[in-house]
Structure 1
Amino acid sequence: MDWLWQWWDGVELWLVQLPVAVQFPVVMIVVLPLCLGVARLIDRVADWGAKNPASRVDDAAPEPEPEPEKVAA
């Protein structure tokens, strides 16, 4: 794990030493796709959880039947 921390420190140091005009595009090229990927992953996991029948609690509280429509005489 130590190699990962050393690598990250090197990348961080390299990025901090760049001019701001170069830092912004570099960060956007890395951060935007990463955030998009994480957002899609979260969306798919949430969709899967919503469709998973094991996650439903329908048996615990059945829905009340709707009232019949009242017809005026």
Structure 2
Amino acid sequence: MFNGLADWWDGVELWLAQAWFPVQFVLVMVVVVPLCLAAAWVLDKVVGLFARRLTPGRDNDSDGSA
């Protein structure tokens, strides 16, 4: 199974490396930009979740008086 997948990937990689530059650019932008946006969104949510758990609790006083 892995040999078939590796052979397929080698074919795709070879095709992409030999493609005309504008085609390479468009294909990379169509794939990489959405993946980067999704990864940034997930990372933001994970960091926000940890930040909320690690910050100390706040009092219910909204005016800040002690």
TM-score normalized with structure 1 length: 0.63
CA RMSD of aligned residues (A): 1.8
Q: Which amino acid aligns with 1:20?
A: F
Q: Which amino acid aligns with 1:25?
A: V
Kindly tell me the number of residue pairs found equivalent between the two proteins. 55
Does 1:14 pair with 2:15? Answer: yes
The structure with the largest helix share of the pair is 2
Does 1:29 pair with 2:25? Answer: no
Deviation at 1:57, TM superposition (A): 7.4
Report Cα offsets for 1:3-34 as digits up to 9, x if no partner.
Answer: 44333222211111110021111110101001
State the identity as a percent.
47
Structure 1 residue ranges (4+ consecutive) displaced by more than 6 angstroms after TM superposition: none
Structure 2 residue runs without a partner (length 5+) = 57-66
TM-score normalized with structure 2 length: 0.68
Q: Distance in 2 between matches of 1:44 and 1:51?
A: 11
Relative contact order higher in (CA < 8 Å, ≥ 6 apart): 2
